[in-house]
Structure 1
Amino acid sequence: MGAAPKPPAFIVFSDLSKIGPSLIELRKRGLAVLAISQKQGSAMVQKGIELLGTPDGPFSGITDVSLRDHQDLSGMADQASVWAQEYDVRGVLVNAEVYVDAGQIVADMLDLPNPGWRASTVCRNKLLQRRYLRQWSPVSVLVTAPDNGFETSGQPAELAKRYDGPFPVAIKPLDRESSIGVRVVGSVQALTEAIATLQPGNRLLVEERVQGREYNVDTLVSKGRPLVTLLTQKGTNEDSTEYFVELIHTTPPNNLDEREQALIVEAQLGVVERLGFENGYTHAEYRIDDDGRVSLMEIAARAPGDGCLHLYHLATGKPIEPVLIDIALGLETQYPAVFSRRGRQVYFEHTPGILRDVQVEGLDGITPRWLADTTGLWPELKAVEADAPPTVHELFSIKPRGFELERLTESSNRAVTAIFDVPIDGDIDAEEARVRRGVTVVSEPYAP
């Protein structure tokens, strides 16, 4: 008699807080879910780790979990090899930026669909994006602090001279993830001061500050063929601060005409082709100015964060996770980009201090869900009919009560968010105003 067939399985690299919709879909398909996640992280991540192994808990559908630091590439490759001896691993999906490298290695090692080496490598490196994708990128230079630190006060000024383009400029630390540390400086003197704060060996990308409206631009690719490109309008706190914290997402955008959208999609498809993207989700951010100049801000080889996938589901009536899993399994698939509603997610600004409460008034049936105090998991949302009235779907706190709220200088400082939608011809701005009037984030000053 031959050996018994191995049970079919699927490996997911993800923060536990974001695994919910994928977990549900994979279990529907009869696949054992093998998860690799972080050992530590945000309040949501910590809550998820605390609940692992809880009978009937939010993560009880996971067959096995390996908690790994994202730099432990050898350990993750070995763990995948061990799983592959016990299971018939049929696909790999990456939901977290820090695991793009590991996901590429494991999928390639197991001969499963993956984005491709060039795509994964370039998407993980801000400098490589600028050099590989010059046609779509702003002017930029790389500044590297000496390995032994600055020995004279004139060294930072000399390094600042490497950039001879217009001001203001955006500065992006290459030793940090996502948008952490990204900010605007307005003069040579301010740039010099920023460079002077670099630690020995730190690298800083200094680039032209591109003006214009900003969008998430997401392309699903299967077997080298783009299936669909989707746009989400972005709003940040850049107008009132020197930072770029994302506070608003709108799907589909309501501030683009057909010509502008076509220019952005054309740029995105050119970028996807240049990267040789093979399979998966390519998530990019672009700006377009009033003259129609399209500039690539950054690109990633994984799905977007926040509630962006929720917004696609609410706006089209179709969840996107099944399509991502189809692609990872090498199956023929499609995603109909027909928008019947317009969805928006907002993060509420807050006063720094101790988070005590989230109060709601005038939003019938809505109570805040304290995810970091309860499940540590972003739940699924249910789409409504196209002609349903404006609908507030959820109000979440992703920080626990008693958390020390800080200024909104990076995404990890955000605390409270709402997701809502309106009919496609409805007034999403009026609904946002109503939601904002109804929600108050209560914090008290820090003790002296």
Structure 2
Amino acid sequence: MRVAILDTPAALSWDETKAAMGPGDRGYPVTGTDDEGWLAAATAALADGPVDGVVAFSEPHVVAAALIAEELGLPGPGVRAAVVSRNKLMQRELFGRAGLAQPAHFHARDADAAAGFAAGRWPVIAKPLSGSGSHGVQVLGDESELRAWAAGHGDRETFLVEEFLDGPEVSVEALLVDGEVRFSNVTDKTVSGLPFRVELEHHVPAALAPAVRAAIERVLIGVTTAIGLRTGVVHLELILQAGGPSVVEIAARTPGDYLMDVIEAATGVDLYDAVIAAACGLPLEIGKSRPDVASVWFPTPAAGTVESIEGAESIDRMPGVVKIEIDVLPGDEVHPLRSSMDRVGMVIYRAPDRDGLDDLLTAIRSRLIFKIR
């Protein structure tokens, strides 16, 4: 197939993008990253020929991709599911009506109202209604922290305040075709401490009891049914509680944090191929060919200026290491870890079992050294 890539002018100019493009592939620059900008670029792409499938790869273009797929009569999540996946409050309303377990929450229009809900519930979580990568999401311990957060997010008219649920965090990566789950995976994660709770590691598959896994599968069906998702990949985040999984949120797009690469490293399932096949109405060929476990680790050096980075090349040659990326250079600034946008790189690695995975990470940590001023 020929590929039409809609992205920012900067991303289309990257060497990595150019190297990935084959004969006949073409990039279409998006001048504004709102829905209108994505749709304008899609109009240019549609003028150049028929389209066999539409895939939303990242959060900002979920709605535009669903609109185009529906307009062309192609498989997709559906506009309703796409819109709901982009709004955390809409999700809370639908999940509540469906009887799904989720945190107590409040739609706040100002700090006074938010403080009224939070009284007696501290700590609470404040979050914008849309967004990704944990950007703007923060655990708040008292009213002064809440008011400081609200003052720093004054560009947002309203926001969510939710009870803080403490428990193991997992995610579900699933592919649906016509509302039927054709593939699912459960990932467990290690997150940073309060107040930002940014993912530091993802492990595939999650080490869970069969009853817990079955409960997660039931929640997956309940959530995708509630939002009306038809065809496409989803990323569902859950917190495990004594009474069962509690829903954090769902995204109707490919998961971030290299999770599709980690799933392939552990199972041999090429989710990229499967997502494209589903979007084009082609038969799916999903068969697990590997019984390994795999992880992605995001190093978290101290904030400051990078002086040097050591060990990346030797790590790349280590048995079990699938891929390493370092996203900073000497002279770059490392920011405090508040969201996934503050990360400095990642390592994907695999082993036959979880003990082997942990031993490999210990060796990787000992070799990768960031010298920070």
Regions of 4+ moved over 6 Å: none
CA RMSD for the aligned pairs? Answer: 2.5
Is the contact made by 1:314 and 1:421 (CA closer than 8 Å) also made in structure 2? Answer: yes
Deviation at 1:193, TM superposition (A): 3.8
Match of 1:94, SS state, is: coil
Q: With structure 2 as the length reference, what TM-score do the two structures score?
A: 0.91
Taking the aligned partners of 1:263 and 1:276, their CA distance within structure 2 comes to: 20
Deviation at 1:199, TM superposition (A): 1.6
Consecutive unaligned residues of structure 1, counting only runs of 5 or more, are 1-30, 146-155, 368-388
Q: Which residue of 1 aligns with 2:49?
A: 87
Q: Which residue of 1 aligns with 2:272?
A: 321
> What is the number of equivalent residue pairs in this alignment?
370
Structure 2 residue identity aligned to 1:142: H
Is the contact made by 1:252 and 1:339 (CA closer than 8 Å) also made in structure 2? Answer: no
Q: 1:405-420 residue pairs with structure 2 within 5 A?
A: 405-420=334-349
Given the alignment of the two structures, is residue 269 of structure 1 paired with residue 269 of structure 2, yes or no?
no
Taking the aligned partners of 2:244 and 2:90, their CA distance within structure 1 comes to: 21
Given the alignment of the two structures, is residue 141 of structure 1 paired with residue 112 of structure 2, yes or no?
no
Q: Which residue of 2 aligns with 1:246?
A: 199
Taking the aligned partners of 1:111 and 1:187, their CA distance within structure 2 comes to: 50
Given the alignment of the two structures, is residue 208 of structure 1 paired with residue 190 of structure 2, yes or no?
no
Deviation at 1:83, TM superposition (A): 3.1
Deviation at 1:175, TM superposition (A): 5.8
Deviations 1:306-328 (A, max 9, x none): 22111111111232111111100
Structure 1 residue identity aligned to 2:366: R
Percent of pairs identical after alignment?
A: 25
Q: Which residue of 2 aligns with 1:127?
A: 89
Structure 1 residue identity aligned to 2:30: R
Q: Which residue of 2 aligns with 1:335?
A: 286
Match of 2:145, SS state, is: helix
Match of 1:314, SS state, is: helix
CA 1:352–1:323 in structure 2 vs 1: closer, same or farther (change >3 Å)?
same
Taking the aligned partners of 1:140 and 1:68, their CA distance within structure 2 comes to: 35
Q: 1:284-299 residue pairs with structure 2 within 5 A?
A: 284-289=236-241, 291-299=242-250
Is the contact made by 1:354 and 1:405 (CA closer than 8 Å) also made in structure 2? Answer: yes
Q: Give the alignment partner of residue 303 of structure 2, picking from 329, 352, 356.
A: 352
Match of 1:427, SS state, is: helix
Deviation at 1:133, TM superposition (A): 1.0
Q: Which moved more, 1:189-198 or 1:131-140?
A: 189-198
Q: Which residue of 2 aligns with 1:306?
A: 257
Deviation at 1:400, TM superposition (A): 3.8
Deviation at 1:285, TM superposition (A): 0.6
Taking the aligned partners of 1:205 and 1:313, their CA distance within structure 2 comes to: 35
Taking the aligned partners of 1:231 and 1:102, their CA distance within structure 2 comes to: 28
Q: Which residue of 1 aligns with 2:15?
A: 51
Structure 2 residue identity aligned to 1:223: D
Given the alignment of the two structures, is residue 428 of structure 1 paired with residue 357 of structure 2, yes or no?
yes
Q: Give the alignment partner of residue 181 of structure 1, picking from 136, 141, 147.
A: 136
Deviation at 1:297, TM superposition (A): 1.0
Deviation at 1:201, TM superposition (A): 5.1
Taking the aligned partners of 2:17 and 2:162, their CA distance within structure 1 comes to: 46
Is the contact made by 2:59 and 2:131 (CA closer than 8 Å) also made in structure 1? Answer: no
Structure 2 residue identity aligned to 1:402: G
Is the contact made by 1:360 and 1:439 (CA closer than 8 Å) also made in structure 2? Answer: yes
Match of 1:80, SS state, is: helix
Q: 1:145-160 residue pairs with structure 2 within 5 A?
A: 145=110, 156-160=111-115
Taking the aligned partners of 2:338 and 2:27, their CA distance within structure 1 comes to: 32
Q: Give the alignment partner of residue 225 of structure 1, picking from 155, 164, 180.
A: 180
Q: Which moved more, 1:190-199 or 1:180-189?
A: 190-199
Q: Which residue of 2 aligns with 1:258?
A: 210
Taking the aligned partners of 1:354 and 1:62, their CA distance within structure 2 comes to: 42
Given the alignment of the two structures, is residue 402 of structure 1 paired with residue 355 of structure 2, yes or no?
no
Structure 2 residue identity aligned to 1:184: V
CA 1:180–1:69 in structure 2 vs 1: closer, same or farther (change >3 Å)?
farther
Match of 1:90, SS state, is: coil
Q: Which residue of 1 aligns with 2:71?
A: 109
Taking the aligned partners of 2:148 and 2:46, their CA distance within structure 1 comes to: 51
Structure 2 residue identity aligned to 1:248: E
CA 1:97–1:267 in structure 2 vs 1: closer, same or farther (change >3 Å)?
same
Taking the aligned partners of 1:162 and 1:53, their CA distance within structure 2 comes to: 47
Taking the aligned partners of 2:366 and 2:120, their CA distance within structure 1 comes to: 43
CA 1:365–1:249 in structure 2 vs 1: closer, same or farther (change >3 Å)?
closer
Taking the aligned partners of 1:89 and 1:197, their CA distance within structure 2 comes to: 43
Q: With structure 1 as the length reference, what TM-score do the two structures score?
A: 0.76
Given the alignment of the two structures, is residue 366 of structure 1 paired with residue 321 of structure 2, yes or no?
no
Deviations 1:360-418 (A, max 9, x none): 18x85636xxxxxxxxxxxxxxxxxxxxx961222211234422111111111100211
Q: Which residue of 2 aligns with 1:438?
A: 367
Structure 2 residue identity aligned to 1:99: H
Taking the aligned partners of 1:285 and 1:201, their CA distance within structure 2 comes to: 24
CA 1:219–1:144 in structure 2 vs 1: closer, same or farther (change >3 Å)?
same
Taking the aligned partners of 1:258 and 1:52, their CA distance within structure 2 comes to: 41
Q: Which residue of 1 aligns with 2:8?
A: 38
Match of 2:372, SS state, is: strand
Is the contact made by 1:91 and 1:107 (CA closer than 8 Å) also made in structure 2? Answer: yes
Q: Which residue of 1 aligns with 2:232?
A: 280
Taking the aligned partners of 2:289 and 2:257, their CA distance within structure 1 comes to: 22
Deviations 1:212-245 (A, max 9, x none): 111110110012211122111111102xx31121
Structure 2 residue identity aligned to 1:432: L
Is the contact made by 1:51 and 1:59 (CA closer than 8 Å) also made in structure 2? Answer: no
